Amino acid sequence: MKLYHVAVHREDKWYIGRVLERSGVTTQGRTLDELVDMLRDAIDALWAERDVQLELVLAAERAPRTSRRAVRRRVSA
């Protein structure tokens, strides 16, 4: 099983996710669950990989830009 790290930030009512290990996959979802589904679909379509594990790296909301922290969330298949 391949593990990908995904940088996630909130923009208006959307979660935006970008795979960090490889370029080419950036997508969005209204919820984190929808974002994960969209990421899995994009990874399968672009790289033909179905059995992947995603670790979401969430940017802290409302933190000053200089002190922004990351929160990690692992999503299993």
33 by DSSP, 3-state: which?
A: helix
Confidence band (pLDDT; 50, 70, 90) for 69?
A: low
Q: 75 in a domain, yes or no? A: no
Confidence band (pLDDT; 50, 70, 90) for 59?
A: confident
**Model confidence, pTM:** 0.77
How far is 19 from 61, CA to CA, in rounded Å? Answer: 20
Q: 61 in a domain, yes or no? A: no
Q: 1 in a domain, yes or no? A: yes
Q: 64 in a domain, yes or no? A: no
Q: 59 in a domain, yes or no? A: no
> What's residue 32's pLDDT?
96
Q: 68 in a domain, yes or no? A: no
Q: 70 in a domain, yes or no? A: no
Question: Does residue 65 surpass a pLDDT of 80?
Answer: no
Q: 56 in a domain, yes or no? A: no
Domains identified in the chain, total number: 1
Least confident of 12-21, 37-46, 49-58, 65-74: 65-74
Domain that holds residue 29: 1-51
In the sheet that 2-11 helps form, which strands lie side by side, from edge to edge?
26-29, 14-19, 2-11, 52-59, 70-75
Among 54, 55, 32, which Cα is nearest to 44's? 54
> DSSP H helical segments within 1-77, as ranges?
32-47
